[in-house]
Amino acid sequence: MPTPITLTNKNFEEEVIKSDLPVLVDFWAPWCGPCRMMASVLDELAARLDGKLKVAKLNVEEPDHQALAMEYMIQSIPNLKLFRSGKVAKDFIGFRPIEVLEPEVEEAVK
Partner 1 sequence: MYDIAIIGAGPAGLSASVYASRYGLKNVVFGFPGGLTSETHEIGNWLGTKLLNGQEFAKNSEEHAKSLGAQIVPTLVKTIERKDGHFNIETQKAEKFEAKTMLLAMGTAHRRLEIEGEKKFHGRGVSYCATCDGFFFRGKTVAVIGGGDAAAEGAVFLADLASQVYLIHRRDELRAEDYWGNLVKNNAKIKIIYSTNVLEITGGDKVESIRLDKPYDGSNELKVDGVFIEIGAAPNIELLKLCKVDLDEGGYVIIDTSGKTSIKGIWAAGDLTTGSDKFRQIVTAASEGAIAAHSIKQFLKGNNNNTQYLEKAA
Which residues are catalytic, by number? 32, 35
Please say whether the beta carbons of 77 and 29 come within 8 A: yes
Q: Which of 6, 13, 93, 103 binds partner 1 (CB under 8 A)?
A: 93
Does position 88 interact with partner 1 (CB under 8 A)? The reply is: no
State the Cα angle at 44 between 97 and 68, rounded to 5°: 80
Nearer to partner 1, 11 or 66 (CB): 66
Mask 47-86, x = binds partner 1 (CB under 8 A)?
A: -------------xx-------x---xxxxx-x-------
Report which residue type is found at 85. S
Taken in order 65, 24, 11, 35, the sign of the CA dihedral is positive
Nearer to partner 1, 86 or 94 (CB): 94
Q: Which of 7, 16, 24, 35 binds partner 1 (CB under 8 A)?
A: 35
Does position 45 interact with partner 1 (CB under 8 A)? The reply is: no
Report which of 75, 68, 56, 61 is spatially closest to residue 3, judged by C-alpha positions.
Answer: 56
CA atoms within a 13 Å half-sphere pointing along the CA-CB vector of 19:
25
Query: Closest separation between CB of residue 8 and partner 1, Å?
Result: 19
